[in-house]
Amino acid sequence: MELKIRHVSKDYGTFAALHDVSLDIRSGELVALLGPSGSGKTTLLRAIAGLETIDEGQIFFGGTDASRTSIQQRNVGFVFQHYALFRHMKVADNIAFGLRARDRSRRPHESEIARKVKELLELVQLPELGDRYPAQLSGGQRQRVALARALAIEPQVLLLDEPFGALDAQVRKDLRRWLRAIHEETGHTTVFVTHDQEEALELADRVAVLSKGELQQIGTPDDIYDRPATPFVYAFIGDSSFLPIEVRGGEAVLDRSVLPLGQLSAPDGQARLHVRPQDVVLRPTGEGVSGRVTLLRRTGAFRRADIEVGDARRRIEAQLPPELAITEGDEVGLHFNRFAVFPSDAPHSTAPN
């Protein structure tokens, strides 16, 4: 089922939880909604489910405008972070719940329900646990049962709101791979909310980045990482530094000196030049942008250097191979493999949370 979200806005009183959000989700695609706390991820997911009304815009399921239809009519499967299973029901009965709750004309026969539950228990790799109660399961097992319960109704769309948020890092990693495998097998159109960028980049076909109720960018993990569309995406995903520059006639000016970066397409005015540490390459002094190494430290497989640039000694970070012969205090030239210039008044973030 293809989803089309068109110009959706949602206010709580005077507060805009979603502002003019448009995105298309292809049939069978797994899209992650990524953003800091309060950015509108859950609101958007609930709006897709029909758990939340929208003030403006439309949500299409396939060719049909579903904006005003009920949650039942939309036929979505939902898993929440703390979506408690029914404690007094065995695992198998939890999974069967949505099928048994249907009205008589659409309710499958009990033997069909039993067959379906067995199949789902195998899919989520808990074939032996149908007779247990939720209290007798680990957190990760419970979330797998919650997913089986969401899948039981054969949803048109699967919506997952931080389903692994409460679990420890290793279990999350395992479940992430497992969810991807299940997705390949079942092919549901899936929207997955997370504020963990690693989870989003690893799991999703495409990532939609939200900030303050606005869609900043939707793209493949490579697009989001290598070609951030806004200053917010630069700051929120991965590491980056920026230099406050002025653009004059297509030239980048830092502290009254023109940076040798070639012709920019940015408009004249105050701007910020954003660059990721891995896109900063060291050259001999005199080549490229001049700088001075002020700090070197080892981070995992690489070294990181703080490099001061310009009269005002602005600091940018570079990622260097550990064998590079360099010491603190060295004068260097810098080349930027990739960078982006945005006007200073573009929306940005300094403190993603």
Ligand X SMILES: Nc1ncnc2c1ncn2[C@@H]1O[C@H](COP(=O)(O)OP(=O)(O)OP(=O)(O)O)[C@@H](O)[C@H]1O
* Residues contributing to the site for ligand X (CB under 6 A): 12, 15, 17, 35, 37-43, 195
**Least distance between Mg ion and beta carbon 325 (Å):** 48
Angle between helices 91-100 and 139-152 (to 10 degrees): 20
Q: Which two tokens stand for residue 203?
A: 């799991």
**Least distance between Mg ion and beta carbon 206 (Å):** 19
Residue 3 contacts residue 48 (beta carbons within 8 Å): yes
| Nearest to ligand X of 42, 190 (CB atom) | 42
**Least distance between ligand X and beta carbon 205 (Å):** 21
Residue 40's binding partner among Mg ion, ligand X, none (Cβ under 5 to 8 angstroms by kind) is ligand X
Residue 199 contacts residue 177 (beta carbons within 8 Å): no
Residue 43's binding partner among ligand X, Mg ion, none (Cβ under 5 to 8 angstroms by kind) is ligand X
Taking the CA atoms of residue 96, residue 102, residue 104 and residue 110 in that order, the dihedral angle to the nearest 10 degrees is -10
**Least distance between ligand X and beta carbon 19 (Å):** 11
Residue 319 contacts residue 325 (beta carbons within 8 Å): no
| Nearest to ligand X of 43, 217 (CB atom) | 43
**Least distance between Mg ion and beta carbon 214 (Å):** 16
| Nearest to Mg ion of 42, 217 (CB atom) | 42
The DSSP output letter for 337 is: S
Strand partners, 241: 275
Q: Which two tokens stand for residue 309?
A: 């640039």
- Residues in contact with Mg ion, total (CB under 5 A)? 1
Residue 183's binding partner among ligand X, Mg ion, none (Cβ under 5 to 8 angstroms by kind) is none
Per-residue binding string, Mg ion, 27-66, x by CB under 5 A, is ---------------x------------------------
Closest CA to 188 of 25, 30, 5, 24: 30
Q: Which two tokens stand for residue 156?
A: 């048109």
| Nearest to Mg ion of 197, 278 (CB atom) | 197
Separation between Cα atoms, residue 9 and residue 53, nearest integer Å: 10
* Residues forming the site for Mg ion (CB under 5 A): 42
